[in-house]
Amino acid sequence: MDAERVDPQVRAARRMPDLPVYRLWGRLLVRAGVHLLPRDRRPGVRVRRVRRPRLRVYQPVRSGGGAGPALLWFHGGGLVIGAAVMDDRLCATVAEELGITVVSADYRLAPRHPFPAAHQDALIAWQWLQDHAEQLGVDPDRVALGGGSAGGNLAAGLVLHLVDMGGVQPVAQWLFAPMLDDRTATRRELDAIKHWVWDNRSNHFGWSACLGTEPGGPDVSDHAAPARRTDLSGLPPTWVSVGDLDLFLAEDVAYAERLTGAGVPVTLEVVPDVPHGFEGWAPEAEVSRAVEQRARDWLATALG
């Protein structure tokens, strides 16, 4: 990637070097560093931890009467790194600005825990939120699913799982540069492109670790790789945003277009001059603030 193409404010915010998550020492360093990140402590939001399942619950101090909507959020990290705490800022901001409950879920990581471990944890988090809706002041019929990168994979995969199961359905899916298609990792010509933050070497490792086998095979579940789903009809309204310098650009645009073709209301934002995960590591950049504000406005409308 030509660094000069990257938005100047985003480029200036990038202080941490890319670490090879396909090496054990790289994953261990990232996992340790995540837990050293500063916590978001804003007076308008209460944050508490749930230990089983492992969740972080964000609730506005002031909320209206009656049951309100909620967001179930999944963090990113290629299914091999990351933790719910790293999205404190995003979750607290959504809870405060929209006045809703946000539940952010941890999940088991590959390669120690391959598919379907993380996806089972996502379903458990959904079931926990449904079971505790009354005590949380949440309307169980007004819950959106969201996530960034690998978290977008879990959110989109959970949407498909819930459609297959029947019963209560999410009202929206809110996806930031979601990791949707294992077949991208098989395009080894992409290895030569230096995508910031998440390149195709890391992508190949992430998918291989998750699937327990080489990506691109004929038997990959569409719950693991949502882009594999042939029929996307009946899914909830969807937000998809992705940078035009992101490895996931093509697969995310294709998924959004297929959703639209299936009659699903879709808002697709292709953000110019930004790489993967820019909102998280360059939150003060003008482009990050603008995209996140539009995303929150969309979510507020989708939740009614």
Catalytic residues: 149, 246, 276
CA distances from 274 to 58, 241, 278 (A): 29, 11, 6
Token pair 């200036």 is found at: 12
Q: Which residues contact residue 186 at a Cβ distance below 8 angstroms, ignoring those fewer than 6 apart?
A: 204, 214, 215, 216
Measured at the alpha carbon of residue 85, what is the angle toward residues 287 and 83, in degrees to the nearest 5? 100
Task: Please enumerate in sequence order all residues whose Cβ is within 8 A of that of 144, keeping only pairs 6 or more positions apart, or say none.
Answer: 69, 70, 71, 72, 170, 171, 172, 173, 174, 236, 299, 302, 303
Do the strands 55-60 and 45-50 form a parallel or antiparallel pair, or are they unpaired? antiparallel
In this structure, what token pair is assigned to residue 250?
Answer: 């093509």
Let me know: does 86 contact 40? Beta carbons within 8 Å. no
Query: For residue 179, which amino acid is it?
Result: M
Q: Are strands 172-176 and 238-243 parallel, antiparallel or unpaired?
A: parallel
